Every structure is written in structure tokens, then in C-alpha cells.
Amino acid sequence: MQKRKLGKSNLEVSAIGFGCMGMSWSYGPPKDKQEMISLLHGAVDRGVTFFDTAEVYGPLLNEELVGEALAPFRGKVVIATKFGWEANPNDGGKWNALNSRPEHIKQVAEESLKRLKADAIDLFYQHRVDLEVPIEDVAGAVKDLIQAGKVKHFGLSEASAKTIRGAHAVQPVTALQSEYSLFWREPEQTVMPTLEELGIGFVPFSPLGKGFLTGKIDPNTTFDSTDFRSSVPRFSPENRKANQTLVDLVSSFAEKKRVTPAQIALAWLLAKKPWIVPIPGTTKLARLEENLGAAKVELTADDVRALDASAKIKLEGARYPKFHEQLVGR
């Protein structure tokens, strides 16, 4: 597995990382713990060194899983986690309240360190921008944690270019994690020029369009009520049908290259910039191996331009329900 550096930082990781969320949360009920530990070990065996989790995934379950699974590989892998959410007493204890107050960030860091069984958090992202707390205060709190040796690198998720600049002026930002794929191209206009200018790495989540770009989802696919996609407008049956044009384009491209649509989607991201590291998630070994195979797919400049042209296809449906939609790009 090739390695990449996230921007100008010295944080070197595998060219394809592993998004661990779906093992515990958001894509149906939590999966069998021992099976997921085996899968994470399989990822390490295959050269993956970059693993992504968050306290809210579960909540707490995913950090505990990742911490236990990767404890034998401490020092050989990079684990990213996130702060910024808390249980909402006004909504039955659901984890849907934002809190990026400095004292809360520091408390979360201590608790995450215990669950991850780590001495320091390799990469600590603000999960969503909290408009109640100046981003300079957030960056300052993480700077304190870095100086105390409890955090190594600072990241942001789904932040705007303005917020990235404000944070970076206080504590250099190593990486931005936001949704980016052939299914969601907005970052190309809104944040990527800023990332390139400042030397910040980009970690696209949902690089396979929440599974849509694999070609395995069609208008007849049903989602469990515990599957986040059941509430996403872009995944309504009518919108899946309308958006099939994009999948058809990626699939035909994959046929010519004799690879899978998922591998084309990931190879396109890798070809866009050398500081992009996608983090596809899976709960199956065969899918993990398929995803990692994308690192061997070589796309020419003409290939990339041909795939870029898919931006002309009009895609239907918002990528998030209203509540989540208002929390991105702030």
C-alpha cells in the first residue's frame, strides 16, 4: 500500500484509509464485535495504517471497538477521532447537541484516550462547526492539547473555507474531512482551493457515495430503519432512479478498465490530488480488498477528465436531511 502525507504536515498514512463508523452505527445495527476486530486486523495486514472513528459513533461503541482492535498495533497505525457532539437532555438524551466549548473538548480528549487505549490522539477533528464557540477558541483548545502531548494533529470536518482559515491561523490544520466523491462534487469549488493554498490534507468520507457508486444499489433497494440512508433525500427511490445515470457512467468506465465501479470512484479521488486520502468503510473482507485494489488502478489525465465531465449530470435530492444539512459548510 502506497503512503501519502496529509498536506504539509508530517502525518503519513496509507493512501486509502478505513472509515470505521458503519461497524457500530448509522448503517444498520452494530455488527458482531469479534468479526469487526478480525476485519480491522485484516486491514492492518493489508497495509492500511489510517483508521477513522468518533465518540458519537455508537455513541462510544466505535471508539471502544477501534481501541481494542488496534491496541496491538499502537505506533504503527494512525487513529483519527472527533469531538463536538453531546447528549441532548431536551431530546431524550440523543446525541444531537453541538458542544465545542474548550473545557468540553479537553474532557472529550481524556475520555477518548481511555477508549482508544492510547497515550495521544493522532488526529483530533472538530466533527461539526459550533457557531456558539469562536473557531479560534476551538483551535486554541486543541493547541493546548497538542502542547500537553495528548493530541498530535488538528482537523476539521465539513467546515467552510473561512472557518478553516480562522482555525489554521491559531493552530495549523492537518486535514479537513468532508464528504467528497463523484456523487458530491461541491468541495471542488468551496474548500479545495483553500486546502491547496494552506497545505492542508483532504480526507473524503463517503467516497463511494454512501454505497451508491458501487452499482449495488437501485430503486428497489430497501434500507433498514436504523440505516441512515432511509432518511436521506438523495436515497429516496425516485431520486435513486434519477441518479442512476451517474452510476451507469462509472460502471461503463469500470468495464473498460476491467475493474469495479467502486475502484474507479476511489481511483478518481486518488488521481485528483496527492494530498487526498479517502476513507471508505465496510464490514466485509471482500469489500475491503476491493476498495484497497483501487490504489493499483491507474487513471490517465484523459480518464480523470472524462470522469470529471460527469459533473454535468444533474443529481437529484439533498445529501442530508434538513437537520444535518444546516450543520455543514459553516
- For the chain, 330 residues long, give each residue's pLDDT as a single digit of tens: 999 999 899 999 999 999 999 999 999 999 999 999 999 999 999 999 999 999 999 999 999 999 999 999 999 999 999 999 999 999 999 999 999 999 999 999 999 999 999 999 999 999 999 999 999 999 999 999 999 999 999 999 999 999 999 999 999 999 999 999 999 999 999 999 999 999 999 999 999 999 999 999 988 999 998 999 999 999 999 999 999 999 999 999 999 999 999 999 999 999 999 999 999 999 999 999 999 999 999 999 999 999 999 999 999 999 999 999 999 999
Sheet with strand 121-126: strands edge to edge: 18-19, 50-52, 78-83, 121-126, 151-157, 173-179, 201-205
Choose which CATH entry (3.40.630.150, 1.10.10.10, 3.20.20.100, 3.30.70.20) describes domain 3-208+272-297. 3.20.20.100
- Domains of the chain, by residue range, sit at 3-208+272-297
Q: How many CB atoms lie within 10 A of CB 102?
A: 16
pTM score: 0.97
Length of the chain (residues): 330
Report the C-alpha gap between 315 and 240 in whole angstroms.
Answer: 9
**173 secondary structure, DSSP code:** E
Angstrom CA distances, 315 to 82, 173, 318, stand at 30, 32, 9
**What pLDDT was estimated at residue 219?**
87
**What pLDDT was estimated at residue 95?**
94
Q: Which of 57, 125, 180, 320 is catalytic?
A: 57
Catalytic residue flag (residue 180):
no
**What pLDDT was estimated at residue 83?**
98
**What pLDDT was estimated at residue 43?**
98
**What pLDDT was estimated at residue 73?**
98
